[in-house]
Amino acid sequence: MTPLGLFLTKKSVNRAMVSRRTGISQARLSQLSSNESTKLRADELYLIALAIDIDPCELLKEVFKGLKLPKE
């Protein structure tokens, strides 16, 4: 499961509702939630955050919390 999938599960988010509100298909949401190689676009992240009534920055930080700058 991807970090987005874990976040949505932890928050008990109804993915059908997210799909209706955002226009992102349920199949795409399923890919974003379960397939690590699927790339999450910024516009999708923003719309998902709006649909579940959270600050987009909170979702961004949660989904990409493992991303770090390389050491020099």
> Per-domain residue ranges for the chain?
3-63
Amino acid letter, residue 7: F
pTM over 0.85: yes
Average pLDDT, stretch 53-68?
A: 94
Q: Candidates 3.90.79, 1.10.1070, 1.10.260, 3.30.300; correct CATH number of 3-63?
A: 1.10.260
Residue-wise pLDDT tens digits, 2-59? 999 999 999 999 999 999 999 999 999 999 999 999 999 999 999 999 999 999 999 9
**How many Å apart are CA 51 and CA 1, to the nearest integer?**
21
**How many Å apart are CA 37 and CA 49, to the nearest integer?**
21
pLDDT of residue 72: 81
